[in-house]
């Protein structure tokens, strides 16, 4: 059958599972974000503790997974322990193809185990395996290595795992898949940890029947040719996302040293070009994506205790990491940056949140708002990567109240220690790296998960920089709302958002027709709007109120390429966004 309609329900408390055919979900909400949002409303009770057994983990793939190139992502949804509200994170690797080949459209994991376990899912079988010995292991890399050996079917599986950050419930702990991809944002790793769930291995092998094989091959070839021959994916293939470092810096939009400035003097040294030239060791791809945007640096270092004794560490780098763990912390040496990235991977933290939290802590110390008593004798200062590596370990081990606060995110930490004006979180989620103009911040404020990927306002800002035009708040709200609506479709299919230039309305319609979903452009947009409203239904139920959105003063102080951010403009944009979205249950 062409549509993935089976949903696997796993209960970690009772150690039981069952499968339901939920054709209703996939026919109505397509897959991915659409289906997962509906499942979240069904499975997550109102007011659930994000770290309680009642919080569900929902993985969903879409109707194009396993059939078309660039449909390479899995959506995870849950109640976020970082924001206390809607949690949504996407990852690639082999996760999406493996879930589909195991025979599922979605997987729901509820309950909590008393002792550490990991799940092995092989087609129709689910095994609850003991993970007591894996709990507390220092490096997430080791967990990957052990599970690769323990579990069968290499090449047909995904190995999702948490590091010690997840075990210790750091609210922005990540789930790592295939070593270099992550469900990074909003703390899925802590939800795993709260359930004593160390890892999930999913594998399977199956075929997908397609009614019109000839037409399927035609649509496939069209997408394939666009993905390898047109310039759309070239940037991601060549330098990868770090291609953005130099242009954003030259535009003066690269947040630097906690956004005290938007230009980093040493950006060139940690740019995509510099890293590719001196360190790039390998490029790899997610399952069913020819682009290979994953760039892995080979860092060769001598051991100091013995001559001619070296180690080579393979470290994946991306734009957001270069921003959050590089410019944001004033780190301008590639080696220092790579070592810090490696430590964040070892511990299993979200890189963006970690960098933003540490940048705030550094400024707090500089301003004398905290002392070295709070930082546990660490003298945090811009560029000092070895001290930041120690700080990352403290965030995970939480030796005192200050690090316990840091482990809950910058919104929480600044509510205790002050420094809110330069605590760079929106809807309690730490910001991504684009000080491009008002629409980027519009996205962070209005986006359902307060992520730059919700509606990519930075992309509109960049166009506006070129045309020297800033839209009215009303037009700006329309732009980001329409983009967010369309992205609900793309993330329900589920395709990688890097491929949004390929999957236009026509291609989406063609691809969906192959799996028997015939939707015209108007229907697609209506579905996108419905899905977005469903997400907001959850948010409002869990206490979201747009009136409470905080705008950190810092973003209005540092000039963007479009001038200084006007707080009133943003407030008007927020109002326009919500009046256009027409939510029935919005608080007065």
**Binding residues for another protein (CB under 8 A):** 2, 66-67, 69, 97, 100-101, 144-145, 148, 154-156, 178-180, 205-210, 213, 216-217, 220, 224, 228, 282-292, 296, 314
CB count within 10 Å of CB 113 equals 21
Strand order in the sheet with 57-60: 16-21, 6-11, 106-110, 57-60, 74-79, 86-91
Using the minimum distance from each CB to another protein, give the nearer residue, 285 or 583.
Answer: 285
Closest approach of another protein to the CB of residue 96, in Å: 12
Q: Considering beta carbons, is residue 45 or 154 the nearer one to another protein?
A: 154
User: Quick one: DSSP state of residue 232?
Assistant: G
Contacts for 421 with CB less than 8 Å, ≥ 6 apart? 552, 553, 554
Query: Least separation, in Å, of the C-beta of 295 and another protein?
Result: 11
Closer CB to another protein, residue 102 or residue 565? 102
Angle between helices 334-347 and 140-150 (to 10 degrees): 60
Residue (66 or 437) nearer to another protein, CB? 66
* Smallest distance from another protein to CB 476, Å: 38
Angle between helices 473-490 and 567-581 (to 10 degrees): 50
Least distance (Å) from another protein to the CB of residue 156?
Answer: 7
Query: At 57, which helix (H) or strand (E)?
Result: strand 57-60
Q: Which is nearer to another protein, 281 or 471 (CB)?
A: 281
Q: Is 387 exposed, middle or buried (CB count within 10 Å of its CB: 0-12, 13-18, 19+)?
A: middle
For residue 207, the minimal CB distance to another protein (Å) is 4
Q: Give the nearest distance from C-beta 75 to another protein in angstroms.
A: 20
Decide whether 127 or 224 has the Cβ nearer to another protein: 224
Please, which residue, 48 or 146, has the CB nearer to another protein? Answer: 146
Nearer to another protein, 106 or 515 (CB): 515
Q: How far apart are CA 102 and CA 491, in angstroms?
A: 20
Closest residue by Cα to residue 232 from 70, 13, 121: 70
Nearer to another protein, 155 or 368 (CB): 155
Smallest distance from the beta carbon of 6 to another protein, in angstroms?
Answer: 14
- Shortest reach from residue 497's CB to another protein, in Å: 18
Q: Residue 525 gets which letter from DSSP?
A: H
Minimum Å gap between C-beta 206 and another protein is 5
Q: Interhelix angle for 521-541 vs 567-581, to 10°?
A: 110
Listed residue (455, 474, 446, 479) closest to 549, CA to CA: 446
* Cα 295 from Cα 318, distance rounded (Å): 7
Q: Is 153 exposed, middle or buried (0-12, 13-18, 19+ CB in 10 A)?
A: middle
Cα 190 to Cα 404: distance, rounded to the nearest angstrom: 14
């Amino acid at each position: 059958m062409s549509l993935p309609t089976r949903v696997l329900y796993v209960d970690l408390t009772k150690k039981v599972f069952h499968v339901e055919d939920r054709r209703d979900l996939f026919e109505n909400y397509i897959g991915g974000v659409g289906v997962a949002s509906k499942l979240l409303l069904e499975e997550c009770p109102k007011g659930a503790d994000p770290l309680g057994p009642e919080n569900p983990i929902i993985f969903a793939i879409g109707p194009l997974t396993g059939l078309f190139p660039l449909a390479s992502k899995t959506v995870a949804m849950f109640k976020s322990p970082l924001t206390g509200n809607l949690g949504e994170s996407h990852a690639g690797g082999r996760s999406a193809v493996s879930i589909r080949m195991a025979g599922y459209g979605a997987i729901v994991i509820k309950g909590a185990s008393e002792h550490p376990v990991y799940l092995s899912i092989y087609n129709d079988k689910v095994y609850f395996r003991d993970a007591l010995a894996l709990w507390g292991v220092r490096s997430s890399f080791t967990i990957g290595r052990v599970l690769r050996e323990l579990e069968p079917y290499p090449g047909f599986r995904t190995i999702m795992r948490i590091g010690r950050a997840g075990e210790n419930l750091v609210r922005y702990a990540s789930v790592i898949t295939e070593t270099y991809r992550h469900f990074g944002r909003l703390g899925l790793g802590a939800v795993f940890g709260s359930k004593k769930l160390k890892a999930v291995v999913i594998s399977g092998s199956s075929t997908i029947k397609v009614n019109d094989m000839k037409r399927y091959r035609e649509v496939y070839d069209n997408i394939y040719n666009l993905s390898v021959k047109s310039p759309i994916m070239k940037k991601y293939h060549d330098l990868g996302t770090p291609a953005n470092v130099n242009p954003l810096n030259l535009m003066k939009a690269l947040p630097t040293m906690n956004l005290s400035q938007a230009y980093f003097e040493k950006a060139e040294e940690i740019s995509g070009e510099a890293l590719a030239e001196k360190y790039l060791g390998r490029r790899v791809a997610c399952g069913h994506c020819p682009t290979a945007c994953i760039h892995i640096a080979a860092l060769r270092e001598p051991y100091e205790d013995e001559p001619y004794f070296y180690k080579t560490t393979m470290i994946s780098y991306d734009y957001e990491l270069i921003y959050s763990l590089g410019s944001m912390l004033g780190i301008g040496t590639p080696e220092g940056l790579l070592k810090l990235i490696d430590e964040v991977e070892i511990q299993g933290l979200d890189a963006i949140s970690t960098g933003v939290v540490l940048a705030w802590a550094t400024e707090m110390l500089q301003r004398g708002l905290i002392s070295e008593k709070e930082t546990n004798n660490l003298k945090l200062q811009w560029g000092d990567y070895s001290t930041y590596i120690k700080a990352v370990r403290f965030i995970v081990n939480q030796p005192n109240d200050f690090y316990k606060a840091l482990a809950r995110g910058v919104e929480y930490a600044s509510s205790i220690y002050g420094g809110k004006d330069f605590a760079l979180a929106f809807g309690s989620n730490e910001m991504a790296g684009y000080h491009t103009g008002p629409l980027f911040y519009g996205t962070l404020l209005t986006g359902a998960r307060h992520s730059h990927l919700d509606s990519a306002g930075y992309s509109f800002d960049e166009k506006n920089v070129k045309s020297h035009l800033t839209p009215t708040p009303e037009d700006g709200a329309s732009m980001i709302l329409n983009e967010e609506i369309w992205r609900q479709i793309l993330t329900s299919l589920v395709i990688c958002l890097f491929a949004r230039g390929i999957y236009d309305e026509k291609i989406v319609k063609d691809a969906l027709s192959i799996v028997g979903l015939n939707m015209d452009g108007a229907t697609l947009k209506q579905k996108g709007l419905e899905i977005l409203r469903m997400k907001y239904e959850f948010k409002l139920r869990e206490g979201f109120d747009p009136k409470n959105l905080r705008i950190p003063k810092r973003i209005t102080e540092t000039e963007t390429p479009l001038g200084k951010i006007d707080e009133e403009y943003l407030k008007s944009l927020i109002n326009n966004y919500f009046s256009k979205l027409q939510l029935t249950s919005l608080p007065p």
